Structure 1
């Protein structure tokens, strides 16, 4: 089983949504991704916090994905070592992971960096100008449900590309 690790700050919004969406997609995919499984962690997570209620609601209503049983946890050395690939929500998260686990440099990317790397010229500023967005997934925490919907869509769009690459 190839493990995909999603990382954000608290592991209650972005990375938990990415984990839920990724696992739902691969579980329902008929060709080529059955050997992948996602898990998630946070850099500053409060252990065992539930997924944010807005994140739960948006995934259930928009994508029929249930993350109600998710429990937040902090990233560990074991997580990093067992991961086939590590996908962070922002450059800041990526840099933090690499400071903590420098040996993971060859398998750590932002989610958008990995999803769109074939489209990006040499730097993310060109990508931002070309595609009208940056390489980070913004934190919806504390914002209205609409922001969670936009965040989930950004994650889903990136995951669709990533899953095609993993096949």
Structure 2
């Protein structure tokens, strides 16, 4: 089984969209039984909350669904997941800061897989609805590229 965890600050915008995008890609490829996919945040601000209403609206617009409730990154994640993706450099620093010794997880920037070479997935929280669409499009591009690369290996 392959496993991937998407991480942003609060787990109600970017990482939730990335999780839903990856779930759709895996489902479209008939590989659900081969993947463990989840998301979380580095901060505890939104634990137990559903994704932001604008993220949910963007998901709905693109036929994505989620039952996800925000949670915070924990020590077990570093042992359970093969890859932990941060959305920006701050996420990567926060993930690295709490990574336990002996962790199996590789920590990567999701944007490193973007065919358009946009490395940072900006937080849309303080902006308008259009920012969520941009994040969705970035996450889909990155997740497709990651899936294709991972499926070859």
Q: TM-score, normalised by structure 1?
A: 0.81
Q: Write the distance in 2 (CA, Å) between the matches of 1:149 and 1:158.
A: 14
The 5 Å alignment of 1:2-151 reads 2-30=2-30, 34-45=33-44, 46-61=46-61, 63-67=62-66, 69-101=67-99, 103=101, 104=103, 107-113=106-112, 115-116=113-114, 133=118, 135-151=119-135
Superposed CA offset, 1:1-30 (max 9, x none): 322010000000000111111012102214
Q: Of the candidates 145, 148, 151, which is equivalent to residue 161 of structure 1?
A: 145
Rg comparison, structure with higher value? 1
Following superposition, the deviation at residue 142 of structure 1 comes to 2.4
- 2:76 is paired with a residue whose SS is helix
Retained in 2: the 8 A contact 1:8–1:88? yes
Higher helix content, 1 or 2: 1
Give unpaired runs (5+ residues) of structure 1: 120-130
Give unpaired runs (5+ residues) of structure 2: none
Following superposition, the deviation at residue 165 of structure 1 comes to 0.7
Q: Write the distance in 2 (CA, Å) between the matches of 1:102 and 1:141.
A: 29
- Figure out how many residues of one structure are paired with residues of the other and give that number: 149
- 2:82 is paired with a residue whose SS is strand
Following superposition, the deviation at residue 49 of structure 1 comes to 1.1
Runs of 4+ in 1 over 2 A off after TM superposition: 102-106
Retained in 1: the 8 A contact 2:8–2:14? yes
